[in-house]
Amino acid sequence: MFQIGKTIVSEEILTKDFVCNLSACKGACCVDGDAGAPVTPEERQILDEIYPKVKPYLRQKGIDAIEKQGTYITTDLDEIETPLIDGADCAYVTFDDNGIALCGIEEAYNQGDIDFKKPISCHLYPIRIQEYSEFSAVNYHKWQICDDACSLGAELQVPVYKFTKDALIRKFGEDWYNQLEAAAKDL
d(CA 101, CA 28): 7
Average pLDDT of every residue of the chain:
94
Burial class (CB in 10 A: 0-12, 13-18, 19+), 112: exposed
- Per-residue pLDDT band for 28 (boundaries 50, 70, 90) equals confident
d(CA 34, CA 51): 23
Please write the tens of the pLDDT for every residue from 155-186.
999 999 999 999 999 999 999 999 999 999 98
Amino acid at 101: A
Neighbours of 91 (CB within 10 A): 25
What residue spans define the domains of the chain?
Answer: 1-17+127-141+156-186, 18-124
d(CA 115, CA 108): 9
Using the predicted structure, report yes or no on whether residue 26 has a pLDDT greater than 90: no
Please write the tens of the pLDDT for every residue from 75-108.
999 999 999 999 889 999 999 999 999 999 999 9
Calculate mean pLDDT across residues 25-29.
85
Using the predicted structure, report yes or no on whether residue 33 has a pLDDT greater than 90: no
- Per-residue pLDDT band for 25 (boundaries 50, 70, 90) equals confident
d(CA 18, CA 157): 8
d(CA 155, CA 157): 6
User: pTM score, two decimals?
Assistant: 0.90
Please write the tens of the pLDDT for every residue from 111-134.
999 999 999 999 999 999 999 999
SS (H, E, C) the chain: CEEECCEEECCHHHHCECCCCHHHHCCHHHCCCCCCCECCHHHHHHHHHHHHHHHHHCCHHHHHHHHHHCCCEECCCCCEECCEECCCEECCEEECCCCCEEEHHHHHHHCCCCCCCCCHHHHHCCEEEEECCCCEEEEECCCHHHHHHHHHHHHHCCEHHHHCHHHHHHHHCHHHHHHHHHHHHHC
Residue-level pLDDT at 39: 95
CB-based contact 99:107 (threshold 8 Å): no
